[in-house]
């Protein structure tokens, strides 16, 4: 039954995105709330409103235009926005997030229409709590925050990167049922080193070079303290920070507050889920695998770290597990003779002769899987794919860089150059591929399988911390939901059309672990899954007085 609530009246009601029903206001509600005559006389159902949005979107042939239509809808009628998304998540996730959000961020300042979330510039240092107090909701459970320095594989987009926190939190709700009023997207504006934006009068961020060092660290610390003070049950998700900040920030706070970095930990769990499902196809054990990463940043090391910890659970020592993970960057294979190794890369820097050719590294190391987290397109060329196929009967190849334009290879290239032998997953979606009469359906290894479910688990448990083990649980839960029929067709992630069900089951597994391990601050319900389903957001209009 819908709750009956007091609401603003008249014109203000029609401009409140949380309460606005648009043409679905009943005649009685129009009379009692002073909006009679402000709308066409016919009363729509929610289903008719969804159909009208579909009609509008179908008339457009550009995904960015569709993104903007949906963005406008979110700012004026939140229930209808989520009703559209949740009715057909496989269609709309690529429009509200990757890959379309990449182009939307690049053009954010030129297409800006309405503010959403909070913008906190470093010039407001010392007043962060005051600024955050302007947000209208008092019980915030999830903040996705970025400083815009490493947006997807597109680099420093400054405040234009705000599309990422907005999109991520839309997916918290759309694919896992986290109530939207509990979420808050935040942009920390510390400047930008993007010369194009600094010279653009339409750029909406600080026209200053990025702040580094002590001032930056103090700014971040003040932000964290403000969140803890205003929203003590809030989880902070760090998003698209450059490696030089992402790794230290996570290490500084991960054992003190409820927080995680999706680029590091969410990506790792997503990759581990795909690998676990892939091994159901090959019939091999995780501890028998060797992994080579194209890209040695926080995403690559994050995946390697989680894989290593999962191997430890299957019997290896941590040193043995780390020895099965290798990194390759712009300067070649990470090996002991190099002098440019960062501290977070050391565990995966092994003894080996210097090597600057990725194909040579494959030939020498003989990996069973290669994973692309470089942000650079086309690095998995024909020679790379053919070499992997020569070494492995079923090579595992994951070009995970986003958006589609930055993918290390396309699905068609991977299938064609491996003669269909590849087990494939990419960060952005690719269409089915037909080779010699055989159709291959590419899997999308999207973090959407992990972070919304983690959010729902944290919501129901009020977890005090988020640990690496929770991400292993999440990965295992996702992999377990892939059916044998799907595996037989080469698909290694659950269908996105069923993403809400996947997320709720994954959240149940994570929440059970959180309660079992004593990380919960909430009272344990008698039936965790049932409780999660009972609090999951449903896009239904509230009844107004």
- Pairing mode, strands 332-333 and 369-372: unpaired
How many CA atoms, within 13 angstroms, populate the side-chain half-sphere of residue 231? 24
Q: What is the largest CA-CA distance in the chain?
A: 79
How many CB atoms lie under 10 A from the CB of residue 242?
17
DSSP 18: T
CA 382 to chain centre: 29
The reply to whether 509 belongs to the active site is no
Token pair listed for 109: 């300042």
Which of 97, 172, 197, 216 is labelled catalytic?
97
The reply to whether 111 belongs to the active site is no
> How many Å apart are CA 470 and CA 460, to the nearest integer?
14
How many CB atoms lie under 10 A from the CB of residue 152?
25
Sign of the CA dihedral with 426 first, then 427, 432, and 433 last: negative
Radius of gyration in angstroms for the set of CA atoms belonging to the chain, rounded to a whole number: 24
Token pair listed for 367: 């990996």
> How many Å apart are CA 275 and CA 289, to the nearest integer?
10
How many CB atoms lie under 10 A from the CB of residue 244?
15
> How many Å apart are CA 67 and CA 110, to the nearest integer?
14
- What residues contact 480, with CB distance under 8 A and at least 6 apart? none
How many CB atoms lie under 10 A from the CB of residue 50?
18
How many CB atoms lie under 10 A from the CB of residue 58?
9
Prior bond to 403 cis, omega within 30? Answer: yes
Q: Residue 404: which H helix or E strand, with range?
A: none
Query: Which residues share a beta bridge with 521?
Result: none
How many CB atoms lie under 10 A from the CB of residue 110?
11
Cβ-contact 163, 101 below 8 angstroms:
yes
Cβ-contact 417, 370 below 8 angstroms:
no
> How many Å apart are CA 159 and CA 458, to the nearest integer?
28
Using H for helix, E for strand and C for coil, what is the string for 505-535? Answer: HHHHHHHHHHHHHCCCCCCCCCCHHHHHHHH
> How many Å apart are CA 128 and CA 494, to the nearest integer?
41
- Pairing mode, strands 433-435 and 438-440: antiparallel
Query: Which residues share a beta bridge with 440?
Result: 433
Question: Which DSSP string corresponds to 181-238?
Answer: GGEEEEEEE-----HHHHT-TT--S-SSPPP-HHHHHHHHHHHHHHHHHH-TTPEEEE
Which of 168, 216, 233, 260 is labelled catalytic?
168
Active-site amino acid positions: 97, 168
């Amino acid at each position: 039954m819908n709750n009956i609530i007091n609401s603003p009246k008249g014109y203000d009601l029609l401009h409140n995105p949380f309460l606005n029903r648009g043409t679905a206001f009943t005649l009685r509600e129009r009379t009692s709330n002073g909006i009679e005559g402000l709308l066409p006389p016919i009363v729509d159902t929610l289903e008719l409103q969804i159909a009208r949005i579909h009609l509008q979107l179908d008339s457009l042939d550009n995904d960015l235009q569709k993104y903007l239509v949906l963005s406008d809808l979110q700012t004026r009628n939140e229930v209808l926005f989520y009703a559209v998304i949740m009715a057909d998540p496989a269609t709309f996730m690529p429009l509200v997030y990757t890959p379309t959000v990449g182009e939307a961020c690049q053009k954010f300042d030129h297409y800006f229409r309405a503010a959403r979330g909070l913008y906190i510039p470093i010039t407001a240092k010392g007043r962060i709590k005051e600024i955050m107090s302007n947000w209208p909701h008092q019980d915030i459970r999830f903040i996705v925050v970025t400083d815009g320095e490493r947006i997807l594989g597109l680099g420093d987009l400054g405040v234009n990167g705000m599309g990422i926190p907005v999109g991520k939190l839309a997916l918290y709700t759309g694919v896992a049922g986290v109530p939207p009023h509990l979420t808050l997207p935040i942009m920390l504006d510390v400047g930008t080193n993007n010369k194009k934006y600094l010279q653009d009068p339409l750029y909406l961020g600080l026209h200053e070079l990025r702040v580094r060092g002590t001032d930056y660290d103090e700014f971040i610390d003040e932000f964290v303290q403000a969140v803890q003070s205003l929203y003590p049950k809030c989880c902070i998700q760090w998003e698209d920070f450059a490696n030089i900040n992402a790794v230290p920030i996570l290490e500084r706070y991960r054992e003190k507050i409820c927080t995680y970095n999706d680029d590091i930990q969410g990506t790792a769990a997503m990759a581990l889920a795909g690998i676990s499902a892939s091994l159901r196809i090959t019939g091999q054990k995780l501890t028998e695998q060797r992994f080579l990463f194209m890209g040695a940043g926080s995403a690559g090391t994050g995946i390697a770290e989680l894989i290593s910890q999962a191997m430890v659970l299957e019997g290896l020592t941590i040193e043995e597990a780390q020895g099965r993970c290798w990194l390759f960057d712009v300067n070649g294979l990470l090996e002991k003779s190099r002098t440019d190794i960062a501290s977070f890369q050391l565990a995966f820097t092994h003894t080996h002769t210097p090597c600057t050719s990725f194909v040579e590294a494959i030939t020498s190391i003989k990996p069973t899987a290669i994973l692309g987290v470089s942000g650079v397109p086309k690095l998995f060329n024909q020679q790379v794919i053919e070499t992997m196929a020569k070494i492995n009967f079923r090579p595992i190849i994951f070009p995970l860089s986003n958006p589609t334009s930055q993918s290390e290879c396309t699905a068609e290239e991977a299938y064609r150059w491996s003669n269909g032998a590849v087990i494939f997953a990419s960060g952005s979606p690719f269409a089915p591929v037909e080779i010699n009469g055989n159709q291959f359906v590419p899997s999308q290894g999207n973090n959407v399988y992990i972070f919304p479910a983690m959010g729902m688990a944290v919501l129901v448990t009020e977890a005090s911390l988020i640990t690496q083990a929770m991400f292993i649980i999440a990965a295992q839960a996702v992999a377990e939901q892939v059916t044998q029929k799907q595996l037989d067709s080469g698909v290694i992630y659950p269908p996105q059309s069923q993403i809400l069900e996947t997320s709720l089951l994954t959240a149940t597994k994570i929440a059970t672990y959180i309660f079992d391990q004593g990380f919960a601050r909430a009272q344990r319900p008698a039936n965790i899954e049932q409780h999660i389903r009972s609090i999951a957001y449903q896009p239904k209009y509230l009844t107004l007085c």
